[in-house]
Amino acid sequence: MVLKSTFLFGLVLFIFSCQSTAESKEELAKQTPAEQGASLYTMHCAQCHGEDGKLGSSGAKDLSKSVLADQQVLQIIKNGKGAMPSMKALLETEDNIHLVLSHVKALRR
């Protein structure tokens, strides 16, 4: 009996741990704005630009050296440019786009 409830408890824990991806949006909401921007960047931008902005995959510009004004960066995120697709649908909200913009600027030194 004790063994059985230990097993059940383990099963419940296992099921809960499997839900973590479904809760990722909730997780994101708990982070600070800077952390949210970084997470969104990692999810949607890092595969081409790299965590530090310098990867340059498929001709992506080095974001640490970018000198574009906020409005231009917003334009590119929303509409894409050259080989970069529009990121508007993936980022979902205007708020998220602005969080990513802040992170992009934080990559500049």
* Whether 83 contacts 59, CB under 8 Å: yes
Q: Is 58 in the site for ligand HEC (CB under 6 A)?
A: yes
Q: Is 12 in the site for ligand HEC (CB under 6 A)?
A: no
What's the min distance (Å) between Cβ of 88 and ligand HEC?
9
Write the binding mask 16 to 35 for ligand HEC: x where contact by CB under 6 A, - elsewhere.
--------------------
Q: Which of 37, 30, 27, 24 shows the shortest CA–CA distance to 63?
A: 37
What's the min distance (Å) between Cβ of 17 and ligand HEC?
29
Q: Report d(CA 37, CA 28) in Å as an integer.
A: 10
Half-sphere exposure of 92 (CA within 13 A, CB side): 5
Q: Report d(CA 9, CA 11) in Å as an integer.
A: 5
Binding footprint of ligand HEC on the chain (CB under 6 A): 44-45, 47-49, 58-61, 63, 66, 68, 73, 76-77, 81-85, 87, 100, 104
